[in-house]
Amino acid sequence: MKKIKIVVVGCGDRACVYANEGVNTLQYMEVVAAVDPNPERLKYMQKNLGVAEAACYSNIEAVLQQGKIADCVINGTMDDLHLATAIPFLQQGYDMLLEKPLTSNAEDLLFLKKTADENGCKLMTCHVLRYAPFYYRIKEVINSGEIGDIVNIDTSERVGATHSSYSYVRGKWKSEKECGSSLLLAKCCHDTDMLCWLNNTTEPEEVSSYAERRHFIPERAPKGAGTRCLVDCPEEIRKNCIYDVQSMYLDNCIMPWYPWQCTGKNYEDVTEEEKLASLKTYNPHGVCIYKAGGDIVDRQVLAVRFKNGSVATHTVVLGAMKPGRSIWITGTKGEIEGNAEDGVFYLRKYSKENSLFQEEKFEFIDKKGETGGHFGGDKALVRDFCNLLQGGEKSISCTSIDDSINGHLLVYAADKSAKECSSVSIQSMMEK
């Protein structure tokens, strides 16, 4: 395969994961330019992905003015920058792998699709869970007809205490006003996409949702708790607090690419002394989790009715002890039940021999979720994107924008439903 030339825009964690898979693991890609306002991230691109120093830029205009210098763009900018950074490259004819969520509203989403279509661009969304062997096999079973027609899909996501703190309550997605995305959009557009993809012989029609922030609020802080853990919170309180930063960030930093970004350094280069000093002063991750000041909800549930009469539910909650995604699909001839983190799902069918059921077990080796490749989905997504750019046929997982619209519209409608305390039709999200 001739190597695909790429421009990486927004050289944060996710874009670098995809670029690394394409360049170093699969060896299908070559990065010809990188764009990021943080010089440390550009140094990372030079060191790890072979980008020439002269091909590193602080803004997209410096690349755009050169014309089309590559085959595609990997766009990993923050949510509220997706549209502004995607449109100019699409208008120059670049194909694109764009991090989810694509946009924060239906109007921008449809404009994005229109621009891609008008310029003949292949635009794929980073819905990596479709590519995880666990979910890919479930889709194959559904497509085979083994469970008949889908009657109900029930999914849940329990966001672990650590991930909740790192990314959401203390992290850069803690505020919808600041980052442009709700919890459901930032965290669960994977899951709403899954509901629509697994059930894509029909389309979502109406949704009702309930959401609230009741856990991570000042009123829930332990009596006598300070504002910064390592500055003014008493030891007797910290030793019994799940979210004490000493244990969560210093002793056991399991997602190190998030909490040290504010230092301006790549996380591998931050010293222990610098980590400690930052948590005591300017680092938002050093603030008491109950007083971190975000505005996203910490729990949400939604119920969907599809046009063919099937239904689905999804629940997300922050602060779970055991993180994980579970799924239960009921069909007219059988059912599927499993948990991605356990790497197991079961296919069950009715048994006339005992009037109960017979069961088949499917096991998967890759059980690493968002801390380790999305159960193998990251690599498979990049491989499929390269295949699409080389003229190959779309896979059953292909996350082209045409097949990503319903999952996004479902999020917009669910968030509107939660705010207005009423059911919302999906069609209404597309009407001005």
Q: What is the pLDDT of residue 292?
A: 95
* Dihedral (CA of 117, 122, 123, 128) sign: positive
Q: Is the pLDDT of residue 368 over 80?
A: no
pLDDT digits (tens, 9 = 90+) for 172-206: 999 988 888 999 999 999 999 999 999 999 999 99
Q: Average of pLDDT values for 33-53? A: 95
Superfamily of domain 4-125: NAD(P)-binding Rossmann-like Domain (3.40.50.720)
At a CB cut-off of 8 Å and minimum separation 6, what does 157 contact? 187, 188, 191, 314, 315, 316, 317, 324, 325
Q: Is the pLDDT of residue 1 over 90?
A: no
Question: What phi-psi label fits residue 243: left (phi over 0), alpha (psi between -120 and 50 degrees) or beta?
Answer: alpha
Q: What is the pLDDT of residue 432?
A: 56
CATH 3.30.360.10 segments of the chain: 129-216+295-430
Q: Is the pLDDT of residue 369 over 60?
A: no
Question: What phi-psi label fits residue 319: left (phi over 0), alpha (psi between -120 and 50 degrees) or beta?
Answer: left
CA distance 163 to 82: 23
Kindly indicate whether the domain formed by 129-216+295-430 is annotated with CATH number 3.30.360.10: yes
Calculate Rg over the CA atoms of the chain: 22
CATH 3.40.50.720 segments of the chain: 4-125
pTM: 0.92
Model confidence at 371, in pLDDT bands (50, 70, 90)?
low
Q: Is the pLDDT of residue 351 over 90?
A: no
